[in-house]
């Protein structure tokens, strides 16, 4: 709180009148703090590193090479005729952003308990800043994807004849928003419960590892021939996003407006439910964390 020259309060902090209340004006008023958190996340990622941002290129490159050897050449898993580097890089980039958003949002309370106990600001600023700072890594990896794509197309390399970018690529901003929304929704729900039950964080790490293999990253959805298993995989809300991205930029995949709409609805429900639980736990989390 602060006082003006007339000793009158300029800011009054009150408890939320409703658990559903999301004070967007207050979030906007603290946009400078959000930018500080973003810079903190970026600086921390590069601190005491020799290669700095190059790690965001080296890591996916090494992962693509590993996937190509193990899943592409040894396990002989199909990539729908697409070049393996592009197929794997598409999945790795999307999953990296989603899992990053999920992880940052999950540690909102437990990772900032000392800060929350000293000063007031809208707590949602922390997970929202995590979504934005994660765009840096994601942007670098998407740029790498674009460079490799151009090398295949203009170099006329084997597999380039199957590449077919189309109008569905314009859905890319929607895909990014949905990944961020799903990561934020799941993350703040887990973060809210982890204030009291610390093993929730351990459980989330385990679930995230399994979740990656339940998402068409190292294999296309078309390779799943069992109808029941295929439906179970499509219930995974990120499946339609991954398939839609590959369909738009690579010309292969199983795009469905119905499943994309389903994922969008799940995102909205998770965000609303997450905000409700988050606001409830925010009131007394310092007593349990």
What does the pLDDT look like over 126-137, one tens digit per residue?
888 888 888 888
Per residue in 70-121, pLDDT (tens digit) is 998 898 898 888 999 999 999 999 999 999 888 888 877 666 667 766 777 6
Where is pLDDT greater, at 285 or 266?
A: 266
Q: Which long-range contacts (CB under 8 A, 24 or more apart) does 52-61 make?
A: 53/140, 56/136, 56/137, 56/140, 56/141, 57/140, 57/141, 57/144, 60/89, 60/92, 60/93, 60/96, 60/141, 60/144, 61/144
Mean pLDDT value of segment 163-185: 94
Query: Which of 100-104, 155-159, 188-192, 248-252 is the most confident on average?
Result: 248-252
Report whether pLDDT(192) > 50: yes
Work out whether the CA dihedral 248, 254, 256, 262 comes out positive or negative: negative
What tokens were used for 47?
Answer: 């601190």
pLDDT in tens, 19-55: 556 666 777 777 787 888 888 877 777 666 667 677 7
pTM to 2 decimal places: 0.86
pLDDT at 2 (0 to 100): 45
| CA gap 91, 245 in Å, rounded | 9
So what's the pLDDT on residue 48?
64
**Is the predicted pLDDT of residue 200 greater than 60, yes or no?**
yes
Poorest-pLDDT segment among 192-196, 213-217, 246-250, 261-265: 192-196
Query: Tell me, what's the pLDDT at 289?
Result: 53
| Average pLDDT for 59-74 | 91
pLDDT at 5 over 70: no
Q: Inform me whether the pLDDT recorded for 275 exceeds 90.
A: no
Q: What is the pLDDT of residue 17?
A: 53
Dihedral through CA 126, CA 130, CA 132, CA 138, nearest 10?
A: 180
Q: Is the pLDDT of residue 271 over 60?
A: yes
Check pLDDT > 50 for residue 1: no
**pLDDT number for residue 68:** 92
């Amino acid at each position: 709180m602060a006082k003006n020259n007339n000793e009158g309060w300029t800011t009054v902090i009150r408890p939320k009148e409703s658990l559903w209340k999301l004070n967007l004006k207050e979030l906007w008023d603290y946009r400078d703090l959000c930018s500080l958190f973003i810079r903190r996340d970026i600086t921390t990622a590069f601190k005491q590193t020799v290669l700095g941002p190059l790690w965001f290129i080296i890591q996916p490159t090494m992962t693509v090479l590993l996937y190509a050897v193990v899943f592409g050449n040894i396990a002989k898993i199909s990539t729908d005729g697409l070049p393996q580097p592009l197929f794997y890089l598409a999945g790795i980039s999307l999953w990296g952003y989603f899992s990053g958003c999920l992880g940052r949002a999950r540690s909102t309370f437990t990772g900032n308990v000392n800060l929350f106990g000293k000063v007031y600001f809208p707590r949602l600023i922390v997970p929202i800043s995590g979504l934005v700072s994660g765009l840096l890594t994601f942007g670098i990896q998407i740029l790498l994807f674009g460079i490799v794509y151009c090398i295949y197309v203009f170099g006329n390399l084997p597999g380039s004849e199957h590449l077919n970018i189309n109008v569905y690529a314009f859905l890319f901003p929607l895909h990014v928003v949905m990944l961020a929304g799903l990561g934020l929704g799941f993350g703040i729900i887990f973060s809210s419960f982890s204030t009291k039950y610390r093993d929730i964080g351990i459980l989330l790490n385990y679930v995230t590892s399994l979740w990656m293999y339940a998402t068409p990253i190292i294999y296309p959805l078309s390779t799943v021939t069992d109808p029941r298993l295929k439906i179970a995989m499509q219930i995974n809300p990120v499946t339609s996003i991954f398939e839609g991205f590959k369909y738009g930029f690579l010309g292969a995949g199983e795009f469905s407006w119905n499943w994309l709409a389903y994922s969008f609805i799940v995102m909205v429900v998770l965000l609303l439910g997450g905000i409700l639980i988050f606001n409830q736990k925010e009131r007394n989390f310092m007593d349990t964390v």
